[in-house]
Amino acid sequence: MLIRLAVCIAAVSALVASAPAGAQSAGSVPRIGVLWQTPPPPPVHPHLAALFRNLRDLGWQEGKTIEVEYRYGGNDAARLRALAADLVRSKVDLITTAGDLSTRAAQQATRSIPIVALVGHPVESGFAASLARPGGNITGFAVLADELALKRLELLKEMVPKLTRVAVLWDPVTHERQPRMVEAAAGTLGLEVETVRAASAAELPGAFEAAQRARAEAMLVLISPMFIGARTELTRLAATHRLPAMYHTPAFTEVGGLIAYGPSLDEQWRQVAGIIDRILRGARVADLPFQQPTRFELDVNLRAARAIGIEVPRSILLRADRVVD
Domain ranges of the chain: 20-144+266-287, 146-263+296-324
Burial 46-73 (b: 16+ CB within 10 A, else e): bbbebbbebbeebbbeeeebbebeebbb
Distance CA 218, CA 304 (A): 14
pLDDT at 40: 87
- H/E run at residue 261: strand 259-263
DSSP letters, 193-258, are EEEEE-SSGGGHHHHHHHHHHTT-SEEEEPP-HHHHHTHHHHHHHHHHTT--EEESSHHHHTTT-S
Superfamily of domain 20-144+266-287: Response regulator (3.40.50.2300)
pLDDT at 196: 98
* Architecture, CATH, for domain 146-263+296-324: 3-Layer(aba) Sandwich (3.40)
pLDDT at 22: 36
Distance CA 237, CA 211 (A): 11
Does the pTM surpass 0.85? The reply is: yes
Reference 154, options 178, 185, 196; nearest CA is 185
Q: For the chain, 325 residues long, give each residue's pLDDT as a single digit of tens.
A: 334 434 343 433 333 333 444 333 445 899 999 999 988 888 788 899 999 999 999 999 999 999 999 999 999 999 999 999 999 999 999 999 999 999 999 999 999 999 999 999 999 999 999 999 999 999 999 997 677 899 999 999 999 999 999 999 999 999 899 999 999 999 999 999 999 999 999 999 999 999 999 999 999 999 999 999 999 999 999 999 999 999 999 999 999 999 999 999 999 999 999 999 999 999 999 999 999 999 999 999 999 999 999 999 999 999 999 999 9
